[in-house]
Structure 1
């Protein structure tokens, strides 16, 4: 793939050009939950300038290709390795980060919520996200990922059908968590603290942005790689 067009999907682009996720986030183009829709549909829906976006995307890709990058071929990685990557790089991150970041979100809400009402909504959204993702990752590790590893060793139609049913529920949960993150981005002005924000405020927003990045990559790998390889 040398040149991206409006017929390509964000999910397909991010697989070969991971840094495209930054450009998509800036323009609020979904590459994970709704990543299998052609760009042209998103351009029309969001009234985005197709020529400008594709020019920026392809210019960035050409520059990136001239650099030395190791791109993982997710489509050929053995399924057990892909599952383990998700657990060790995304689930482990959430297990450590969610409680710690929650303390910062609460602290900022308590200190500044009186004169910045959006922090109350942020506090509620964050805790909804935390509960959703904790339950979601537990379900994957306990109920779904073992089925996928077993299917790799002993494939059967019965086992595959069990995985499909489970994956449908997981994708719905991905949509819920993705919508929460998108709303958090909106009310925080793209996780940009105001000019006089204290240190805790700045740290909170920076870590929320990192949480968004990690989670969107997490969902992308599951929806657009893992689950599709099992479809």
Structure 2
């Protein structure tokens, strides 16, 4: 069984141990947009306890492995299947969740914004995220994903170059979406509602936390697996 060290990259760890994403999120360790650097760099930059986090990581991995979990090897799955998984799992989730969650964010902003001014900024950030991801998904499904499927059937250097150019723009959009999510987490104190929060308030924060989880997994699959395989 693998023992993770400070030389391992967060993105590579999550490929073999998906549950590591929970530990990384708890310590604000980026495994999607900025996940392609060794953990030792992250520990230094963020002033994190290397020994403590590595110990937790390896103990979790030992327990998880003993439970016999099966992990999909996205590095070997045909590209068209990986693309379809992203569309039918992650894009479908966002298409359903973004309009519904928008209603909750707007509701608590209108009801509690005067008393909790950070909800004004949360409303702005969420709407910026919603617009960014909706436009992003349309671009992927209409323009980029068909090119990737075509490349798998008929690979050529010209097509590969075209995909790489498109992916550079998509990765920049991923960075922007990731930054918006991080700002939402920051101003909501890690999505922890205040003590006097109503039920709608608590539901909104719980769904925002789930949105973060889904988004980071979604971006990880694209940045660190799909795009790198071309």
Query: Do these two structures clear the TM 0.5 threshold for a shared fold by scoring above it?
Result: yes
Give the drift of 1:196.
2.1
| Residue in structure 1 matched with residue 75 of structure 2 by the alignment | 75
| Residue in structure 2 matched with residue 65 of structure 1 by the alignment | 65
Q: How many residue pairs get matched?
A: 230
Structure 2 gap ranges (5+): none
Structure 1 gap ranges (5+): none
Alignment of 1:112-151 (within 5 A): 112-151=112-151
Deviation string 1:113-134 (CA, Å, 9 cap, x unpaired) is: 1011110000000000000000
Alignment of 1:177-216 (within 5 A): 177-216=177-216
Q: Partners in 2 of 1:86 and 1:97 — Cα distance?
A: 15
What is the DSSP-based 3-state SS (H/G/I as helix, E as strand, rest coil) of the residue aligned with 1:202?
helix
| Residue in structure 2 matched with residue 39 of structure 1 by the alignment | 39
RMSD: 0.6
What is the DSSP-based 3-state SS (H/G/I as helix, E as strand, rest coil) of the residue aligned with 1:83?
helix
Q: Partners in 2 of 1:142 and 1:23 — Cα distance?
A: 35
Q: Partners in 2 of 1:192 and 1:143 — Cα distance?
A: 38
| Residue in structure 2 matched with residue 171 of structure 1 by the alignment | 171
| Residue in structure 2 matched with residue 101 of structure 1 by the alignment | 101
Deviation string 1:16-62 (CA, Å, 9 cap, x unpaired) is: 00000000000000000001011000100000000001001001100
Give the drift of 1:69.
1.1
What is the DSSP-based 3-state SS (H/G/I as helix, E as strand, rest coil) of the residue aligned with 1:97?
helix
Deviation string 1:199-218 (CA, Å, 9 cap, x unpaired) is: 00010000000000000000
Deviation string 1:170-189 (CA, Å, 9 cap, x unpaired) is: 00000000000001001111
Q: Partners in 2 of 1:167 and 1:39 — Cα distance?
A: 25
What is the DSSP-based 3-state SS (H/G/I as helix, E as strand, rest coil) of the residue aligned with 1:4?
coil
Q: Partners in 1 of 2:112 and 2:22 — Cα distance?
A: 29
What is the DSSP-based 3-state SS (H/G/I as helix, E as strand, rest coil) of the residue aligned with 1:197?
coil
Give the drift of 1:68.
2.5
What is the DSSP-based 3-state SS (H/G/I as helix, E as strand, rest coil) of the residue aligned with 1:90?
helix
| Residue in structure 1 matched with residue 90 of structure 2 by the alignment | 90
Deviation string 1:4-26 (CA, Å, 9 cap, x unpaired) is: 00000000000000000000000
| Residue in structure 1 matched with residue 22 of structure 2 by the alignment | 22
Counterpart check, 1:48 vs 2:48:
yes
Task: List 4+ stretches of structure 1 deviating above 3 A.
Answer: none
